[in-house]
Amino acid sequence: MEDDDLKFIKSCVRKRKIYWTYHVNMRLQERYIERKTLLSSVDSYEIIEKYPGDKYLPSSLVYAEHEGKAIHIQIAIDRDNDHVRIVTSYEPSLEKWEPDLKRRRKR
Protein backbone atom coordinates (compact mmCIF):
# COMPACT_ATOMS: atom_id res chain seq x y z
CA MET A 1 0.00 0.00 0.00
CA GLU A 2 1.35 3.41 -0.96
CA ASP A 3 1.98 5.81 1.85
CA ASP A 4 0.66 9.36 1.83
CA ASP A 5 4.04 10.92 0.94
CA LEU A 6 4.44 8.69 -2.11
CA LYS A 7 0.91 9.47 -3.30
CA PHE A 8 1.58 13.20 -2.91
CA ILE A 9 4.91 12.95 -4.77
CA LYS A 10 3.41 10.97 -7.66
CA SER A 11 0.44 13.31 -7.91
CA CYS A 12 2.64 16.41 -8.04
CA VAL A 13 4.95 14.89 -10.63
CA ARG A 14 2.03 13.82 -12.83
CA LYS A 15 0.52 17.31 -12.58
CA ARG A 16 3.96 18.90 -13.11
CA LYS A 17 3.73 20.71 -9.77
CA ILE A 18 7.50 20.61 -9.48
CA TYR A 19 10.15 23.11 -8.46
CA TRP A 20 13.50 22.14 -10.00
CA THR A 21 16.24 23.37 -7.66
CA TYR A 22 19.38 24.99 -9.00
CA HIS A 23 21.31 22.08 -7.50
CA VAL A 24 19.42 19.39 -9.38
CA ASN A 25 19.67 21.29 -12.66
CA MET A 26 23.48 21.33 -12.29
CA ARG A 27 23.62 17.67 -11.27
CA LEU A 28 21.37 16.42 -14.06
CA GLN A 29 23.57 18.14 -16.61
CA GLU A 30 26.78 16.76 -15.06
CA ARG A 31 25.34 13.25 -14.85
CA TYR A 32 23.71 13.24 -18.30
CA ILE A 33 20.27 12.61 -16.85
CA GLU A 34 17.32 14.24 -18.59
CA ARG A 35 14.33 15.68 -16.76
CA LYS A 36 12.03 13.52 -18.87
CA THR A 37 13.75 10.46 -17.37
CA LEU A 38 12.60 11.48 -13.90
CA LEU A 39 9.13 12.42 -15.10
CA SER A 40 8.44 9.36 -17.22
CA SER A 41 9.47 6.92 -14.50
CA VAL A 42 6.80 8.14 -12.04
CA ASP A 43 4.88 4.85 -12.09
CA SER A 44 7.91 3.03 -10.68
CA TYR A 45 8.57 5.46 -7.81
CA GLU A 46 9.23 3.81 -4.46
CA ILE A 47 10.36 5.62 -1.31
CA ILE A 48 13.47 3.93 0.04
CA GLU A 49 14.54 6.48 2.67
CA LYS A 50 12.81 9.35 4.46
CA TYR A 51 14.42 12.48 5.86
CA PRO A 52 11.70 14.18 7.94
CA GLY A 53 14.15 16.67 9.47
CA ASP A 54 15.83 17.69 6.23
CA LYS A 55 17.25 21.21 5.98
CA TYR A 56 14.29 23.09 4.47
CA LEU A 57 11.47 20.60 3.97
CA PRO A 58 10.89 16.92 4.75
CA SER A 59 12.25 14.86 1.88
CA SER A 60 12.46 11.31 0.63
CA LEU A 61 14.88 9.32 -1.44
CA VAL A 62 12.92 7.74 -4.26
CA TYR A 63 13.96 4.70 -6.27
CA ALA A 64 12.77 4.66 -9.87
CA GLU A 65 13.44 2.66 -13.02
CA HIS A 66 13.76 4.03 -16.52
CA GLU A 67 14.45 1.81 -19.51
CA GLY A 68 15.84 -0.91 -17.27
CA LYS A 69 18.16 1.39 -15.31
CA ALA A 70 17.79 2.37 -11.67
CA ILE A 71 17.77 5.99 -10.64
CA HIS A 72 17.55 7.71 -7.27
CA ILE A 73 15.74 11.02 -6.85
CA GLN A 74 15.70 13.08 -3.68
CA ILE A 75 12.35 14.85 -3.49
CA ALA A 76 11.32 17.44 -0.91
CA ILE A 77 7.63 17.69 -0.06
CA ASP A 78 6.09 21.17 0.15
CA ARG A 79 2.48 20.48 1.08
CA ASP A 80 1.82 24.12 2.06
CA ASN A 81 2.53 25.25 -1.51
CA ASP A 82 1.18 22.06 -3.14
CA HIS A 83 4.32 21.02 -4.98
CA VAL A 84 7.47 18.96 -4.69
CA ARG A 85 11.06 20.05 -5.09
CA ILE A 86 13.47 17.86 -6.93
CA VAL A 87 16.68 18.19 -4.92
CA THR A 88 19.06 15.84 -6.71
CA SER A 89 19.20 12.68 -8.79
CA TYR A 90 21.83 10.11 -9.67
CA GLU A 91 22.37 6.55 -10.84
CA PRO A 92 23.12 4.46 -7.73
CA SER A 93 26.27 2.33 -7.68
CA LEU A 94 26.90 -1.10 -6.22
CA GLU A 95 29.79 0.46 -4.34
CA LYS A 96 27.34 2.20 -1.99
CA TRP A 97 24.13 0.21 -2.47
CA GLU A 98 23.07 -3.43 -2.09
CA PRO A 99 22.34 -5.31 -5.36
CA ASP A 100 18.66 -4.27 -5.31
CA LEU A 101 19.88 -0.62 -5.25
CA LYS A 102 17.29 0.13 -2.57
CA ARG A 103 19.35 -0.47 0.59
CA ARG A 104 22.64 1.16 1.54
CA ARG A 105 25.63 -1.11 2.04
CA LYS A 106 26.77 -1.43 5.61
CA ARG A 107 30.24 -0.02 6.16
How far apart (Å, rounded) are the C-alpha atoms in residues 84 and 87?
Answer: 9
Report, as an integer, the average pLDDT of 90-94: 94
Given a cut of 70, is residue 2 above it in pLDDT?
no
**Nearest in space to 42 (alpha carbons), one of 78, 3, 16:** 16
Given a cut of 80, is residue 91 above it in pLDDT?
yes
How far apart (Å, rounded) are the C-alpha atoms in residues 41 and 20?
Answer: 16
How far apart (Å, rounded) are the C-alpha atoms in residues 3 and 24?
Answer: 25
Is CATH 1.20.1070 what the domain over 4-90 is classified as, yes or no? no
Indicate the pTM of the whole model: 0.92
Given a cut of 60, is residue 61 above it in pLDDT?
yes
What pLDDT does residue 102 have? 96
Q: Break the chain into its structural domains and give their ranges.
A: 4-90
